[in-house]
């Protein structure tokens, strides 16, 4: 893989209740011939807020760009904290779909001349982005605990990153056998690279007043919670799908399922041949997780009582 490191920048900040403050800002070029960093600084607006500014003079036209965005948390040194995403910057600017990247981009879009598609044939300027931009934009998509954090952003030219997801196991069960019958719950190989999952549940009751709990777990000497643990009103969500994480998960199987309408459900529930590519193209792009073994644990509740459990195990490489 050929990489040309163009610019590296990091922003350190402190999260306190609902307040963010910048603590440090570093910028560098991998090669001094790429250009000149004329400005890279944080300046206090008042006792509460600070702003950052950047001015990069370029010696080359920027095209075919990729970006890597990392979120780090300080815990006896800065350590990876959930986000590590590499994305095609030029493609994103044409069609900004990735919610995490979009949330970050929106924090400085209005204060920068990086607000158009590639190529970039001019100096790069970010002018007076203040901490409130992060509080109102990026931070609301990231329910992080308080503490010290760092955002590392690296730009690349002529670089491509590929991620692959494969299903490893699928488990389905009812909390009570009288709820219905699981006629199908399986993973089947499409080819050497991809697999698909199928599900068929016959119900003995009408499903209404539904809630769901979605957990993401990562294997590390056993499966442990990994960032997402969401309980939501399914019937309300189906009427107005606003939650970005639930929506990303739902979109991976919506077109392959008859669970594509509002409550109630008075029929068998079917999910037909959802393949691993759905997760790579859908859910995976919203969850910039590191490689490893993961589990999506979904519990369906009706009238606040557990009704069924669906556990999907997968590997990201």
Same domain, 231 and 282: yes
Window from 107-116, 148-157, 265-274, 300-309 with minimum mean pLDDT: 148-157
For the four alpha carbons of 100, 103, 107 and 108, in that order, the dihedral sign comes to: positive
Q: Which domain holds residue 213?
A: 165-316
Query: Could you give the CA distance from residue 96 to residue 103 in angstroms, rounded to a whole number?
Result: 10
Mean pLDDT of the chain: 79
Assess whether 149 and 169 both reside in one domain: no
What is the pLDDT, as a whole number, of residue 289? 63
pLDDT of the residue at 244 = 76
State residue 3's pLDDT score. 37
| 190 and 266 fall within a common domain | yes
| Same domain (yes/no): 87, 213 | no
Q: State which of 130, 157, 184 marks the end of a domain.
A: 157
174/305 same-domain check: yes
290 vs 202: which has the higher pLDDT: 202
- Identify the band that residue 104 occupies on the pLDDT scale cut at 50, 70 and 90: confident
Number of domains in the chain: 2
Q: What is residue 307's predicted lDDT score, i.e. its pLDDT?
A: 93
Residue 8 has pLDDT above 60, yes or no: no
- Widest distance between CA atoms in the chain: 71
Q: Which two tokens stand for residue 136?
A: 């109102």
Q: Flag whether pLDDT at 5 surpasses 60.
A: no
The pLDDT value given to residue 275 = 78
Higher pLDDT, 231 or 18: 231
Whether 179 and 144 map to the same domain: the answer is no
pLDDT at 171: 95
Model confidence at 173: pLDDT above 90: yes
Measured distance CA(225)–CA(270) in Å, rounded: 28
- The 10 Å Cβ neighbour count of residue 173 is 11
pLDDT for the residue 282: 53
Residue 75 has pLDDT above 80, yes or no: yes
DSSP state for residue 64 in the 8-state scheme: S
Q: Range with the lowest mean pLDDT among 85-99, 158-172, 181-195, 252-266?
A: 158-172
For 246-305, the pLDDT digits (tens) are: 887 888 888 888 988 889 989 999 999 887 765 655 555 545 566 788 899 999 999 989
Let me know whether 301 and 191 are in one domain: yes
Q: Per-residue pLDDT averaged across 116-130, rounded?
A: 86
Number of neighbouring beta carbons within 10 Å of residue 317: 10
Q: How far apart are CA 48 and CA 19, in angstroms?
A: 9
Choosing from 157, 176, 204, the residue where a domain stops is 157
**Residue 306: predicted pLDDT:** 94
Both 242 and 172 in one domain: the answer is yes
pLDDT over threshold 60, residue 196: yes
Q: What is the CATH number of the domain that holds 261?
A: 2.70.220.10
In a 13 Å sphere around the CA of 176, the CA atoms on its Cβ side amount to: 10
Domain boundary among 120, 141, 157: 157
Instruction: Give, for 22, the enclosing helix (H) or strand (E).
Output: strand 19-29
Percent of the chain with pLDDT over 70: 81
Measure the CA–CA gap between 303 and 235, rounded to whole angstroms. Answer: 12
pLDDT of residue 158: 63
Q: 70 and 134 share a domain?
A: yes
Supply the pLDDT for residue 297. 93
Q: Which pLDDT belongs to residue 14?
A: 43
Query: Both tokens of residue 126?
Result: 């970010």
Q: Among candidates 9, 273, 286, 233, which has minimal Cα distance to 124?
A: 9
Check: CB of residue 265 under 8 Å from CB of residue 288.
Answer: no
15 token code pair: 């999260």
Cα 191 to chain centroid distance, Å, stands at: 27
Instruction: Provide mean pLDDT across the span 170-192.
Output: 89
Identify the three-state secondary structure at position 115: coil
Same-domain check for residues 59 and 194: no
Task: Give pLDDT, residue 164.
Answer: 66
| Sheet order of strands, 124-130 included | 35-44, 50-58, 124-130
Question: Between 170 and 107, where is the model more confident?
Answer: 170
Among 21-25, 124-128, 191-195, the least confident range: 191-195
Q: Could you tell me the pTM of the whole model? A: 0.53
Residue 162 has pLDDT above 80, yes or no: no
In this structure, the answer to whether residues 218 and 239 fall within a common structural domain is yes
Q: Are 40 and 144 found together in one domain? A: yes
């Amino acid at each position: 893989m050929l990489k040309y490191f163009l610019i590296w920048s990091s922003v350190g900040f402190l999260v306190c209740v609902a307040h963010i403050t910048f603590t440090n800002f570093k910028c560098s070029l991998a090669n001094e011939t790429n250009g000149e960093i004329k400005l890279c600084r944080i300046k206090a607006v008042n006792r509460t807020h600070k702003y950052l500014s950047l001015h990069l003079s370029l010696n080359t036209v920027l095209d075919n760009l990729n970006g890597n965005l990392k979120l780090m948390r300080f815990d006896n040194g800065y350590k990876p904290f959930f986000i590590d995403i590499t994305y095609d910057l030029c493609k994103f600017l044409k069609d900004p779909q990735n919610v995490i990247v979009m949330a970050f981009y929106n924090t400085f879009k209005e204060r920068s001349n990086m607000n158009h598609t590639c190529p970039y044939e001019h100096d790069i300027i970010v002018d007076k982005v203040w901490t409130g931009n992060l509080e109102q934009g990026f931070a609301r998509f990231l329910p992080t605990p308080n503490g010290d954090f760092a955002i590392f952003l690296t730009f690349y030219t002529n670089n491509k990153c590929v991620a692959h997801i494969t299903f490893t196991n699928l488990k389905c069960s009812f909390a009570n056998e009288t709820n219905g019958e699981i006629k199908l719950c399986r993973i089947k190989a499409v080819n050497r690279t991809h697999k698909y999952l199928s599900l068929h549940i016959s119900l003995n009751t009408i499903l209404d007043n539904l809630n769901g709990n979605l957990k993401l777990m990562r294997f590390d000497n056993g499966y442990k919670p990994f960032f997402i643990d969401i309980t939501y009103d399914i019937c309300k969500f189906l009427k107005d799908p606003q939650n970005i994480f639930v929506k990303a998960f739902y979109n991976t199987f919506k077109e392959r399922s008859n669970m594509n309408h509002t409550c109630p459900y008075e029929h068998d529930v079917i999910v037909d041949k959802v393949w691993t590519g759905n997760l790579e193209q859908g859910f995976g792009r919203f969850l910039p997780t590191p490689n490893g073994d993961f589990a999506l644990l979904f519990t369906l509740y009706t009238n606040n009582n557990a009704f069924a459990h669906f556990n999907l195990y997968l590997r990201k490489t």
